[in-house]
Amino acid sequence: MWPDNREELLLLQNRLGAADFEPWDPQEPVRLIGGCFVCYPKKHPGKGAAGDRYWAAAACTRDTRIAALEVVRGETAALYEPGLLALREGPLLESAVRRLPEMPEVLLVNATGRDHPRRAGLALHLGFNLSLPTIGVTRNPLQAGGDWPEDLSGAAAPLRIDGETVGYWLRVRKGAQPLVVHAAWITSPETALRIVRGLTQRWRTPEPLRQARRAAREARARDLRLTTDD
């Protein structure tokens, strides 16, 4: 379900963005939460080309404690294009998540969801492929606009496109730039905000995503150090 060219991806994004689905609205506390992240060598030319080395990691926490961690590595098949990140990172992240011994109840992705020209960013597309509720968590919005929330820990403010709320700014810590929390596959902006707000009491980055980021970066450092030593 990952197209290998931009024309096919555009068609699929339009379909996913317009899809009608039953929103995921957990009534019980969500205990098993995943996160996934991909990184590249710190220094490489341009914004990203086909053949770039990558390290993709998936983490799963149970009641905030790390339960599983997986890392995959290889070379990208596509260059970077805004709004078409699924061509470059979708298969990498899916591969890492599918290696987890148990699928999480919800997955946090370092990518956008409904905040996208076709309302189907990578976080949404990945959730569709995995049949998992997903939430995007990024530093900045892609297209949506909205004022920052007040400077109080836990404060939130909506992000909208053409009047539609697609996510929220979330102020994790007083005095720090807020995160962007994105509605993605079968998650509403409000559910996404509630889940992420409950995961950011100690760290600015939600714990499952923080663990995946750490694992990917540590694998990168280890591999590149070994290559240099060789």
Determine the distance from the C-alpha atom of residue 58 to the mean position of all C-alpha atoms in its chain, rounded to a whole number.
Answer: 11
Q: If you compute the radius of gyration of the chain from its CA atoms, what whole number of angstroms results?
A: 17
Model pTM?
Answer: 0.95
Residue 175 falls in which region: left (phi positive, over 0), alpha (psi -120 to 50) or beta: left
Question: What confidence score (pLDDT) does residue 48 get?
Answer: 87
Range of lowest pLDDT (23-37, 86-100, 172-186, 190-204): 190-204
In a domain, 144, yes or no: yes
Q: Which residue, among 34, 152, 139, 41, has the nearest Cα to 93 in the 3D structure?
A: 34
pLDDT of 230 reads: 46
Q: What is the pLDDT of residues 21-69, one digit of tens each?
A: 999 999 889 999 999 999 999 876 667 899 999 999 999 999 889 999 9
> What would the mean pLDDT of 67-89 be, rounded to a whole number?
95
Within-domain flag for 2: no
44-53, 86-95, 212-221: lowest mean pLDDT where?
Answer: 44-53
Is pLDDT at 229 greater than 60 in this prediction? no
Question: Span 15-19, mean pLDDT?
Answer: 96
DSSP letter (8 states) at residue 31: -
% of residues, the chain, pLDDT over 90: 87
CA-nearest of 95, 88, 87, 35 to 64 is 35
| DSSP assignment of 10-29 | HHHHHHHHH---PPP--SSP
Residue 41 lies in a domain: yes
pLDDT of the residue at 226: 76
What are 27's two structure tokens?
């009534």
Say which DSSP state 163 is in: T
How far is 24 from 68, CA to CA, in rounded Å? 24
pLDDT, one tens digit per residue, over 143-153 is: 999 999 999 99
In a domain, 49, yes or no: yes
Residue 122 pLDDT > 70:
yes
**Could you tell me what percent of the chain has a pLDDT over 70?**
97
CATH classification of the domain holding 123: 3.30.2170.10
Q: Which residue has the higher pLDDT, 63 or 14?
A: 14
Burial of 53 (0-12, 13-18, 19+ CB in 10 A): middle
Beta bridge partners of 54: 74
Mean pLDDT of the chain: 94
Rounded Cα–Cα distance for residues 200 and 77 (Å):
34
Q: How confident is the model at residue 16 (pLDDT cuts 50, 70, 90)?
A: very high
**What local confidence, expressed as pLDDT, does residue 43 receive?**
73
| Position 22 in a domain | no
pLDDT attached to residue 228: 58
Q: How many angstroms separate the CA atoms of 25 and 111, rounded?
A: 21
Decide if 158 contacts 145 (C-beta within 8 A).
no
pLDDT of residue 44: 63
pLDDT on residue 204? 84
pLDDT of residue 138: 97
Q: Which domain holds residue 62?
A: 28-229
Helix (H) or strand (E) holding 190, with range, is helix 189-197
Total number of domains in the chain? 1
